[in-house]
Structure 1
Amino acid sequence: MIDAFHYSCEGESHKAINKVGQDYSFSSIVDDLAVAIVCDGHGGDRYFRSDIGSRCAVEATLEAVTFFVEKVGDSLFEKKKFTAVGPTSSLKDAEDLSEADSAFRQLFSSIIYKWNEKIKVHAKSEPLTEWEKANVPQQYLDEFLKSETFEKHYGCTLMTYVQTPKYWFAFHIGDGKCIFFQKDPIWTEPIPWDEKCFLNETTSLCDNSPIDEFRYCYEGDGKFPIAVLLGSDGIDDSFGETTNLVNFYIQILKMLAKEGVKATKSSVIETLPKLSKIGSKDDMSVACVFNLDQVKENINLFIRYQIDRANKELNDIEEKINHLKNRIDSLVSFSDEKSKIEFKYAVKDLERAFSAREKLAEKHNHLVEELPEGMVRPYFIEDEDYVIPTQEQPKSDEVVIEEEPKEPEKEVTTEAIPEEQNSHKESPKHQAKKLSPLESKKHRLKLQAQKKNHRKKRRR
Structure 2
Amino acid sequence: MNNNIFTFHKTVIGYRHILEEIPCQDSSSSYNADNENYQIIAIGDGHGDPACHRSAQGSYFVVSVAEKCLTDFANAVLEGEMDISSPRQCRECIEQLTNTIIAKWYSIVRNDLLKNEVSEDDLSEAGIYSETYRQGQRLEHLYGTTLIAALMVSKYLILIQQGDGRCDVFYKDGSVDQPIPWDERCKGSTTTSMCDTDAFASIRSAVIDTEERGVVACYIGSDGIEDSYYNNEETQFGTHRFFMDLTCKLNEVGAEAFNSYLEDMLPEFSQSGSTDDVSIAGIVDLEMISTLIKEYKKSVEQYDYAESLKKRLEDAQGKLISMTRKHELLKQHMVDAQTALQNAQKDHDFLKEQIRLLYSERQELSDKADYINNELKEYRKESQEVRDLIDGNFKCITSAIQRFVDEVATGFSEKEMVYCRLSEQISEYNCNIKNTEERLISGEKNLNILKDKFVKAKEVFTEYDIRYKEIDSEIQKIHDEIQSPCQEAYKKISPSDA
TM-score (norm 1): 0.64
Match of 1:116 in 2: 106
Q: Is the 8 A contact 1:77 1:219 kept in 2?
A: no
Q: Is the 8 A contact 1:161 1:169 kept in 2?
A: yes
Structure 2 distance, partners of 1:125, 1:69, is 32
Match of 2:399 in 1: none
Match of 2:495 in 1: none
Name the SS of the counterpart of 2:62 in structure 1: helix
Q: Deviations over 1:71-105 (max 9, x none)?
A: 34466333x6xx8xxxxxxxxxxxxxx22212111
Map 1:436-455 onto structure 2 (within 5 A): none
Q: Computing the radius of gyration over CA atoms, which structure comes out larger, 1 or 2?
A: 2
Match of 2:219 in 1: 229
Structure 1 distance, partners of 2:470, 2:261, is 41
Amino acid at match of 2:94: F
Work out which of the residue numbers 205, 209, 225 in structure 2 matches 1:216: 205
Name the SS of the counterpart of 2:172 in structure 1: coil
Question: Is 2:178 aligned against 1:178?
Answer: no
Q: Deviations over 1:1-40 (max 9, x none)?
A: 0111111111122222211111111111014220010111
Match of 1:194 in 2: 183
Structure 1 distance, partners of 2:148, 2:308, is 36
Name the SS of the counterpart of 2:254 in structure 1: helix
Structure 1 residues 139 and 246 mapped into 2: Cα distance closer, same or farther (>3 Å)?
A: closer
Structure 1 distance, partners of 2:473, 2:257, is 41
Question: Is 2:32 aligned against 1:43?
Answer: no
Name the SS of the counterpart of 1:170 in structure 2: strand
Match of 1:65 in 2: 70
Match of 1:258 in 2: 252
Structure 1 residues 273 and 314 mapped into 2: Cα distance closer, same or farther (>3 Å)?
A: closer
Structure 1 residues 340 and 5 mapped into 2: Cα distance closer, same or farther (>3 Å)?
A: same
Displacement of 1:226 in angstroms is 1.1
Match of 1:289 in 2: 283
Match of 1:422 in 2: none
Kindly indicate which of the two structures has a greater share of residues assigned to helix.
2
Q: Is the 8 A contact 2:169 2:176 kept in 1?
A: yes
Match of 1:106 in 2: 96
Match of 2:237 in 1: 243
Name the SS of the counterpart of 2:279 in structure 1: strand
Q: Cα RMSD over matched residues? A: 3.7
Displacement of 1:55 in angstroms is 0.5
Displacement of 1:140 in angstroms is 5.0
Structure 1 residues 271 and 307 mapped into 2: Cα distance closer, same or farther (>3 Å)?
A: closer
Q: Is the 8 A contact 1:77 1:220 kept in 2?
A: no
Amino acid at match of 1:16: L
Question: Is 2:271 aligned against 1:277?
Answer: yes
Match of 2:24 in 1: 21
Question: Is 2:341 aligned against 1:341?
Answer: no
Match of 1:151 in 2: 140
Structure 1 residues 248 and 133 mapped into 2: Cα distance closer, same or farther (>3 Å)?
A: closer
**Any stretches of 5+ residues in structure 1 without a counterpart?**
84-97, 321-330, 365-460
Map 1:76-95 onto structure 2 (within 5 A): 76-78=83-85
Name the SS of the counterpart of 1:147 in structure 2: coil
Match of 2:400 in 1: none
Match of 1:56 in 2: 61
Q: Is the 8 A contact 1:22 1:41 kept in 2?
A: yes
Displacement of 1:148 in angstroms is 6.2
Amino acid at match of 1:168: L
Question: Is 2:193 aligned against 1:204?
Answer: yes
Q: Is the 8 A contact 1:41 1:156 kept in 2?
A: yes
Structure 1 residues 274 and 348 mapped into 2: Cα distance closer, same or farther (>3 Å)?
A: same
TM-score (norm 2): 0.59
Map 1:315-326 onto structure 2 (within 5 A): none
Name the SS of the counterpart of 1:290 in structure 2: strand
Structure 2 distance, partners of 1:103, 1:39, is 22
More displaced 10-residue stretch of structure 1: 205-214 or 238-247: 238-247
Structure 1 residues 313 and 264 mapped into 2: Cα distance closer, same or farther (>3 Å)?
A: same
Displacement of 1:164 in angstroms is 1.5
Work out which of the residue numbers 24, 31, 39 in structure 2 matches 1:34: 39
Amino acid at match of 2:40: V
Structure 1 distance, partners of 2:28, 2:312, is 43
Structure 2 distance, partners of 1:136, 1:311, is 45
Displacement of 1:304 in angstroms is 3.0
Structure 2 distance, partners of 1:133, 1:178, is 32
Map 1:152-171 onto structure 2 (within 5 A): 152-171=141-160
Amino acid at match of 1:126: N
Q: Is the 8 A contact 1:186 1:302 kept in 2?
A: no
Structure 2 distance, partners of 1:206, 1:345, is 55
Structure 2 distance, partners of 1:68, 1:215, is 17
**Any stretches of 5+ residues in structure 2 without a counterpart?**
315-330, 332-456, 487-498
More displaced 10-residue stretch of structure 1: 311-320 or 288-297: 311-320
Length, aligned pairs only: 333
Q: Deviations over 1:418-443 (max 9, x none)?
A: xxxxxxxxxxxxxxxxxxxxxxxxxx
Displacement of 1:221 in angstroms is 6.0
Displacement of 1:318 in angstroms is 11
Structure 1 residues 272 and 312 mapped into 2: Cα distance closer, same or farther (>3 Å)?
A: closer
